[in-house]
Amino acid sequence: MTARDVQHRISELLDERGWSPTHLAKVVGVPTSTITDIFKRDSWSLGCVILRSN
């Protein structure tokens, strides 16, 4: 899975749930900048992103 794949999937999930990146950040307990940085960068090292479902 590429960084673009992750960006696309997160966007899909946000749209499906009607969530903003800010809401997602609150739900997963990370700073809003963590989520928005994912979408700002064309090339970045994802490392490890873990999103848990409640």
pLDDT classification of 7: cutoffs 50, 70, 90: confident
At 9-47, the pLDDT tens digits run 989 999 999 999 999 999 988 888 888 888 776 545 555
Cα(27)–Cα(2) distance, integer angstroms: 24
Calculate the alpha carbon distances from 43 to 8, 17, 19, 52 in Å. Answer: 14, 26, 24, 24
pLDDT classification of 5: cutoffs 50, 70, 90: confident
Sign for the pseudo-dihedral over CA of 25, 26, 30, 32: positive
More confident residue, 4 or 51: 4
More confident residue, 49 or 19: 19
Yes or no: say if 7 and 39 are a contact pair by the CB < 8 Å rule: yes
